[in-house]
Amino acid sequence: MLEFAVDEEMISSDPSDPSDPSAGVKAQRGEVKSHRQWTTAELAKFRQHLAAMTRGRIAFEVIYRTGARCVDAVGLGWQRVDGDGWPNFVQAKTGGPATCPGKTLPQWAESPRAERALFLASVPRDRMIWIMT
């Protein structure tokens, strides 16, 4: 907004000019800390807490399994799954394509078979969109 005001000559870009509201303001620098990944025990405990087919469990499994952001996860469902069983979608944030194993896994990814089974057991089969609320 301030850049616009300077471009339109509504305010001065001179920091010593009292009409410049950004005079002396500096961008905050801080340490970015990522969230730690849940352990296998924590995942199991969460799944025990929420039964399959409950709203929270569906949301958890869809986001955990697909890696989709919340804004993308709410649009995922069977209508996004291709003939090979892979959900495909366009990411809202980047506009880029995304895909992930759904019903089937490539041979190189067979180790997460149990995770895939939990996902498939937890998403509703009777509606197009998995996360409804």
Per-residue pLDDT of 83-109, as tens digits, reads 777 788 999 999 999 988 666 555 656
**Domains: count for the chain:** 1
User: Rounded to an integer, what distance in angstroms lies between the CA atom of residue 40 and that of residue 109?
Assistant: 18
What is the length of the chain? 133
Is 17 part of any domain?
no
For residue 73, give the H/E element and its range.
Answer: helix 70-73
For residue 114, pLDDT beyond 80: no
Nearest to residue 82, comparing CAs of 67, 102, 105?
A: 102
What whole-number distance in Å separates Cα of residue 36 and Cα of residue 28? 24
User: What is the domain range of residue 55?
Assistant: 40-122
- Residue 15 pLDDT class (50, 70, 90 cuts): low
The neighbour count for residue 7, using CB atoms within 10 Å, is 10
Structural domain includes residue 65: yes
Nearest to 100 by CA among 30, 92, 131, 91: 91
pTM (predicted TM-score): 0.59
